[in-house]
Structure 1
Amino acid sequence: MNETDTADESIATGIRKVLYGASAATFFGLGMVGIVLPGIPTTPFLLLMCYFLIRVSPRLHAKALAWPVVGKPLRDWQEKQGVHHRVKRLAYSMVVLLVGYTLIFGDLHLSIKAIIFVLGLVGIIVVFRLPTIHREHGCG
């Protein structure tokens, strides 16, 4: 049995295909929300999207891995089971800057600010817990 046969056997059919497709779409949407809202981790949602997407459409999964912005981290996760330290630094910076800006300059009720602060902390913890890929020797 070759690799193509194995991949074909893992393609969902029937109701499972509908559920997996809906899950992939949901996690894609949450990942996109995470790009623009502070405190919502993007990477875990996109990883979950890939998990379901490859079982529904390997073609769409391949396109997701080729996306200019998020494709590289998704490929790194798939191939190396981690994310580069610079991706983590960028995630930390974005959460701190966006949450900090919202907390300082936002005209929000204190309870809403507390929720945003907690979500920011959760986002930082999630990113911190992701395995880190360190620079390989001989690579720029």
Structure 2
Amino acid sequence: MTAPDPTPRPEAPPRRRPLWVAAGFLLTGLGVLGLLLPGFPGTVWFVLAAAAFSRGDPRWEAWLLSRPVVGALVRDYRAGLGMPLRAKWIACTCIAVAVAFSLPRIPVLIGQVAWVLVGLAGVAYITMKIPTRRDPPRGA
């Protein structure tokens, strides 16, 4: 997997900048929901929000990147560092729980099989395609 390009996007034309800023706030809101709701991703929305803010107003991008948890997630993604092992476990567990709880609510067998395959594809992508960042032990 190649590392994402860490260089910011050029600003959009002046009349489009408010649209990019609005998109950044919408995506930030989805990211906050992702931090609160199990099974709903958060990091991807913050990465997209940072990209939108970089085109609309770099001050909002700097604000997002300065947030304690969110900023580190976006900076790590941009640097191609991957996910911490603990985050991978949490993500895969959330996928498994979401699939298990929703499976009985799907009335058609082919739908159930498709849903399990979607869950397995998500777990496979997280475990095999996203690099694992090994953080140093606490206190080290």
User: Is TM more than 0.5 here?
Assistant: yes
- Structure number having the greater helix percentage: 1
Matched, 1:93 2:93: yes
TM-score normalised to the size of structure 1?
0.62
Deviation at 1:119, TM superposition (A): 2.8
Q: Which stretch has the larger CA shift, 21-30 or 41-50?
A: 21-30
Secondary structure in 2 matching 1:90: helix
TM-score normalised to the size of structure 2?
0.62
Partner of 2:12: 12
Give, in whole Å, the separation in 1 of the partners of 2:135 and 2:59.
30
Partner of 2:119: 120
Check whether the contact 1:41–1:127 (CA below 8 A) recurs between aligned residues: no
RMSD: 3.7
User: Structure 1 residues 125 and 50 mapped into 2: Cα distance closer, same or farther (>3 Å)?
Assistant: farther
Mind listing any 5+ residue stretches in structure 2 that lack a counterpart?
1-6
Q: Paired residues, what number?
A: 131
Partner of 2:75: 75
Instruction: Spell out, residue by residue over 1:13-68, the C-alpha distance to the aligned partner (whole angstroms, 9 max, x if none).
Output: 23553564465456556656766474x65433432332222222223223333446
Q: How does 1:15-30 map to 2 (within 5 A)?
A: 16-17=16-17, 20-21=20-21, 24=24, 27-28=27-28
Percent identity of the aligned residues?
26
Q: How does 1:41-56 map to 2 (within 5 A)?
A: 41-56=41-56
User: Structure 1 residues 52 and 134 mapped into 2: Cα distance closer, same or farther (>3 Å)?
Assistant: same
User: Structure 1 residues 27 and 122 mapped into 2: Cα distance closer, same or farther (>3 Å)?
Assistant: farther
Mind listing any 5+ residue stretches in structure 1 that lack a counterpart?
1-5
Partner of 1:107: 105
